[in-house]
Amino acid sequence: MTDSEVILSGLPSLDGQSNATATGRMFNRMMAVFSEYQRDDLIETMAQGRRGLARAGKIMPSRYPPYGYEYDRDRRTYFVDEGRMEVVRTLFRMVGAEGKALWAVKRAFDAAGYETRRGGFWHVSTLRDMVLNDVYKPHTREELRTLGVKEEVLDGLDECAPHGVS
């Protein structure tokens, strides 16, 4: 008999996955719990891996690097794209120093022809995400040390200067 013939015949399932019995319901619930555990464990393991790479001065690249950066596959880190980073600096100057609203920055960027990563129009949500993204915030060596960055990575940084977008 095929599976569909067994189902249509009304015979009980022998693998315990039928919701018609208490055993089947228990089995299905246990499988759901194990699946949830496996998912959570995978997420935790991947986060530990990303943190370990970050402490070593390396990154796990996302599909698109943050605007103003490009990914260096050999060194497994970002490098600054000066053309686009100038747009980031303009964003922070307009929002921070000039007190412009994000929608005003969006209109100014579209009018000036600043390119987005995909070549479309700027979105306020993209600009907000850029302003809030930690990758653009300056950090001192001590802050980086507190975050767990390895000493050999810190040795390559200027002792006095903050590290971030300037």
Most confident option among 18-22, 83-87, 153-157: 83-87
Residues 85 and 144 reside in one and the same domain: yes
Dist. CA 50–CA 25, nearest whole Å: 38
Please count the structural domains in the chain.
2
Higher pLDDT, 93 or 10: 93
Instruction: Say which residue the tokens 């013939």 belong to.
Output: 5
pLDDT, one tens digit per residue, over 23-77 is 888 988 999 999 999 999 999 999 898 888 777 777 777 778 899 989 888 877 7
Query: What's the full length of the chain, in residues?
Result: 166
Helix axes 102-112, 124-132, angle to 10 degrees: 110
Whether 161 maps to a domain, the answer reads: no
Residues 73 and 117 reside in one and the same domain: yes
Residues 81 and 132 reside in one and the same domain: yes
Q: With bands split at pLDDT 50, 70 and 90, how would you rate the model's confidence at 125?
A: very high
Q: What is the domain extent for residue 33? A: 3-54
Whether 163 maps to a domain, the answer reads: no
Whether 162 maps to a domain, the answer reads: no
Residues 98 and 31 reside in one and the same domain: no
